[in-house]
Chains A and B, each alone.
Chain A
Amino acid sequence: MSYLSTVDFTEDRAFVDRFQRTMRGDLELSWMDAPRERVACRPQNERRGLTFRDLDVGSYGFTDMPELIRENRSFAPRGAAMPEGLPDLQAEVNRKSEVWAYNIEGYYEEAMTRQWNATTDIPWGELQSVDLPEDIGKAYAQLLTFLTEVEMIATDVPAKWMGRLNADFFEVKNFIATQAMDEARHAEIFRKRALSTGWGLMRASAQNEFNLKFLRDADSFAEASLALHLQAEGMVLTLFRFSEYISPTEGDKKLFRLVMQDEARHVGYGMQHLKWVLDHFPERREAIHHHLDEAENFVFGGGYATEVLEPFIILSGKGLKKENIAEGVRITNAFQLKQADEYFERLAKCGLPERRERSRLWKMIELRKQSMAA
């Protein structure tokens, strides 16, 4: 049985009487007397409008929010007067450092102003006039199939956690909502582009789906965010950048530039969240390393996903001839090393420089660099 309100309002005589009195103009206005902090928030910069940062005032703001939310377990907006009888919404995450990120309010505002439309912001007409040769067309359709497959994990996972976060963290919840929309748009644009190539969708990727399941099943929001925002999306961000570089048309380059903008925001949140965790909840450091150990195992296992690696080589080398493949391998090697370097660099910037020493992935990358140099 689901939750039932403590009162059936249509059967509660006192509530109905009050309702009917109000409808006759007999007002009590007790809410006017509720103690409150009177503020008049104004835009600090008219061109940017009224931002969440402008609302960071006293009990309404995020700066003074305590590390542990002990009082509000309802949907009462942060800073509002809380009467008796508010329900307990059973939030599971009530510790600020489990979810917070430096500049979270900025990431949210940016997301709201930089929404775009996959239906109209891509020159679909121009793309229609380009017929890709079979090798490039199929390789591109396969890469797009992979991207279509993985994008919405970054909708489902944060969405799963949204309802478990205390309502006082509404800036984080709002950010999650923007991310859900961003990722829906990414799944949409990659699907549409795959279907507009004329080659249709290609093969699903079992190896990558195991990684998606790992992301879905994280035990805590902090672990989910670490593996999703920082690691997975960080690596996808590098993939997008290289995909822009190897894109077959100008329209495709624009496509990747647009998704990169969104992805960079998600990675930004992941980094600033990890930084916040390490600054405010240092006991988690060891747990973070343990989670990354397994997350990196999945990344390394991604080598089995030939349906991702091989199209990338073909697209990079621009064909299937021997010299094309050689060039493709050269670019793909550079891409993979860059992807790993950027990942470890991000971790170091967040306050986890020792990760390189502990990581088996880093050791494998070092071995590869040595073998390439030899």
Chain B
Amino acid sequence: MAYYAEKNFFEDEQLIELVTSILSGNLTMEWYAAQGAPLRARPADPRRGLTYEDCNLGPYGYDAIPEFIRNRYSMAARGSVLVTKLPDLGYTVNRRSDVWSDNVVALYEEAKARRWAPAVDLPWGELTGDDSVREKAMAQLCTLLEEVALVAMEMPSKWVFSINQEFLELKSFLCAQMIDEARHVEACRKRALASGQGLGRASAAAEQALKELLSAETYPEASLGMNLLLGSFVLAMYRALAALARTRADRLLGTLAMQDVARSVTYGVGHMRYHLAQQPAKVVALGEYLDRTEHVVLGIAGCPEFLEPLVLLAAGSLDAERVAAGSRFARHWFATALEEYFERAAAAGLGDRRRRSRLPRLDA
């Protein structure tokens, strides 16, 4: 145990007297006058229900969160009346622009509204599982995607504990990211094990790259690396999976997962934009972070455990001509994913990375 109560309450006569008195009907009512702002949240559009945007009122709202949280280190609800002796819960991320994005509230609402459950929302019965090249490729691709999703689930979990509770909506979005990625772990594992092939081979290259991303030193670096950089490529991976699907189950897996990942990418762009608007000098440090970290997407999207099954899924067979067509698909896929990443980086305020990045020199 690391933290103990300030006293042994079982021997605290004062406490026993207080509780006995209250339970005899003598209420203190000390809290009764301690009311925050008497505002009333109402749904702006009853069809959409009561959103967090509707609750963005006065001192309760997220617009009222200051850039620096200096005097709130407990879990007291934002806008509630603070009392003395609230403990310090040890938050280390206390600067709004280190975590916030203007779209995070809407993305949290969307995440809840677009939830799905892999066990029942994918038509598993349609999958027969066989010894075809396609099924072998699918099992391997899904093994890699399960590895990626495990890491993508851990990134928000690693940070949510350290982020100040004042950023409630942002922390809630991180929780939505966790469940999204849990869903991807589940769906990809189930798909691989429905293939008749079993799981494929883990990827040493991808995992080295994922570990580097996961161990980013600051939240802005972690978010940039995981949401914007890796997210751009994972979004493209699921898009390819949907595009190459031959069954409704695979198409749904791809499109539903894309929907989730797109939210993370959107947050990643919005977060960087907000972060750099408030802390413009950070563009240098984050540019350098990308200089040394962008190589990880090659380790993940360029590893044989992902790229070869992608080629085979596009080819449909091991026939040389079909494999050539599959590799053309893979080249186009990589170039498009890379270009989309550069566009997002530019939109986030990180400048034109095409000139600076080592990735375009690969000449895929």
Residue interface bits A1-23, CB-to-B below 8 A is 1, else 0: 11111111111000110111011
CA distance in complex: A117, B116 (Å): 12
**Residue pair B183, A214 in contact (C-beta under 8 Å):** no
Q: What's the dominant secondary structure at chain A's contact region?
A: helix
In the complex, residue of chain B having the shortest beta-carbon distance to the beta carbon of A7: B208
Is B262 engaged at the interface, CB distance under 8 Å to the other chain? no
Given the known inter-chain contacts A30-B304, A124-B49, A150-B75, please indicate yes or no for A138 contacting B28, CB distance below 8 A: no
**Residue pair B87, A19 in contact (C-beta under 8 Å):** no
Residue interface bits B179-222, CB-to-A below 8 A is 1, else 0: 10111011001101111111111111101111110111100000
Is B89 engaged at the interface, CB distance under 8 Å to the other chain? yes
The 8 Å CB contact of A303, one of B15, B129, B136, B311, is B15
In the complex, residue of chain B having the shortest beta-carbon distance to the beta carbon of A303: B19
Is B65 engaged at the interface, CB distance under 8 Å to the other chain? no
Q: Which residues of B contact A128 (CB under 8 A)?
A: 42-43
Q: Which residues of A contact B252 (CB under 8 A)?
A: none
Given the known inter-chain contacts A209-B87, A212-B75, A326-B25, please indicate yes or no for A41 contacting B112, CB distance below 8 A: no
In the complex, residue of chain A having the shortest beta-carbon distance to the beta carbon of B249: A50
**Residue pair A42, B308 in contact (C-beta under 8 Å):** no
Given the known inter-chain contacts A153-B75, A213-B89, please indicate yes or no for A196 contacting B201, CB distance below 8 A: no
Given the known inter-chain contacts A195-B55, A200-B39, please indicate yes or no for A50 contacting B119, CB distance below 8 A: yes
Q: Which residues of B contact A32 (CB under 8 A)?
A: 136, 140
CA distance in complex: A265, B187 (Å): 22
CA distance in complex: A41, B118 (Å): 14
Q: Which residues of A contact B86 (CB under 8 A)?
A: 204, 206, 209
CA distance in complex: A20, B30 (Å): 72
**Residue pair A213, B299 in contact (C-beta under 8 Å):** no
* Cβ of A307 to closest chain B Cβ, rounded Å: 4
Q: Which residues of B contact A153 (CB under 8 A)?
A: 75
* Cβ of B71 to closest chain A Cβ, rounded Å: 13
Selected A-B contacts with CB under 8 Å, 27 pairs? A10-B362, A19-B362, A23-B307, A23-B330, A50-B118, A50-B190, A75-B210, A80-B199, A83-B203, A86-B207, A87-B208, A112-B119, A117-B115, A119-B49, A119-B109, A138-B32, A148-B80, A149-B75, A156-B160, A159-B178, A173-B150, A185-B172, A203-B31, A203-B83, A304-B15, A325-B25, A364-B10
**Residue pair A180, B175 in contact (C-beta under 8 Å):** yes
**Residue pair A81, B1 in contact (C-beta under 8 Å):** no
CA distance in complex: A28, B1 (Å): 53
Q: Which residues of A contact B64 (CB under 8 A)?
A: none
Q: Which residues of A contact B307 (CB under 8 A)?
A: 19, 22-23
Given the known inter-chain contacts A27-B308, A176-B157, please indicate yes or no for A301 contacting B186, CB distance below 8 A: no
**Residue pair A300, B42 in contact (C-beta under 8 Å):** no
* Cβ of A317 to closest chain B Cβ, rounded Å: 10
* Cβ of B352 to closest chain A Cβ, rounded Å: 18
In the complex, residue of chain B having the shortest beta-carbon distance to the beta carbon of A113: B117
Q: Which residues of A contact B186 (CB under 8 A)?
A: 52, 108, 112, 174
CA distance in complex: A304, B90 (Å): 23
* Cβ of A195 to closest chain B Cβ, rounded Å: 4
CA distance in complex: A13, B208 (Å): 17
Is B27 engaged at the interface, CB distance under 8 Å to the other chain? yes
**Residue pair B327, A25 in contact (C-beta under 8 Å):** yes
CA distance in complex: A173, B179 (Å): 10
Q: Which residues of A contact B195 (CB under 8 A)?
A: 40
In the complex, residue of chain A having the shortest beta-carbon distance to the beta carbon of B155: A163
Q: Which residues of A contact B168 (CB under 8 A)?
A: 152, 187, 191
Residue interface bits A173-201, CB-to-B below 8 A is 1, else 0: 11011101101110110011011111111
Chain-B contact segment, one of A239-247, A274-282, A291-299, A348-356: A291-299
Q: What 6 pairs between A and B have smallest CB-CB spacing? A: A85-B204, A76-B202, A204-B76, A177-B182, A49-B119, A301-B9
**Residue pair B211, A180 in contact (C-beta under 8 Å):** no
Given the known inter-chain contacts A46-B125, A77-B202, A119-B51, please indicate yes or no for A188 contacting B172, CB distance below 8 A: yes
Q: Which residues of B contact A94 (CB under 8 A)?
A: none
Cβ < 8 Å to B, chain A residues 128-151: 128, 138, 141-142, 145, 148-150
* Cβ of A216 to closest chain B Cβ, rounded Å: 6
* Cβ of B155 to closest chain A Cβ, rounded Å: 9
CA distance in complex: A204, B16 (Å): 22
**Residue pair B31, A307 in contact (C-beta under 8 Å):** yes
Q: Which residues of B contact A112 (CB under 8 A)?
A: 117-119, 182-183, 186
Q: Which residues of A contact B150 (CB under 8 A)?
A: 75, 77, 167, 170, 173
Residue interface bits B288-308, CB-to-A below 8 A is 1, else 0: 000010111011001011011
CA distance in complex: A84, B158 (Å): 27
Q: Which residues of B contact A332 (CB under 8 A)?
A: 23
The 8 Å CB contact of B42, one of A167, A196, A201, A314, is A196
Is B165 engaged at the interface, CB distance under 8 Å to the other chain? yes
Q: Which residues of B contact A180 (CB under 8 A)?
A: 157, 160, 174-175, 178-179
Q: Which residues of A contact B23 (CB under 8 A)?
A: 329, 332-333
**Residue pair A218, B2 in contact (C-beta under 8 Å):** yes
CA distance in complex: A225, B18 (Å): 31
**Residue pair A77, B308 in contact (C-beta under 8 Å):** no
In the complex, residue of chain B having the shortest beta-carbon distance to the beta carbon of A309: B22
CA distance in complex: A49, B89 (Å): 42
**Residue pair B172, A22 in contact (C-beta under 8 Å):** no
- Given A49-B121, A333-B23, 14 new contacts (CB under 8 A): A9-B299, A10-B294, A10-B359, A10-B362, A37-B198, A42-B124, A79-B198, A81-B199, A117-B112, A204-B76, A206-B84, A216-B90, A303-B18, A306-B27
Q: Which residues of A contact B179 (CB under 8 A)?
A: 115, 177-178, 180-181
Residue interface bits A78-110, CB-to-B below 8 A is 1, else 0: 011111111101000000000000000000110
Is A339 engaged at the interface, CB distance under 8 Å to the other chain? no
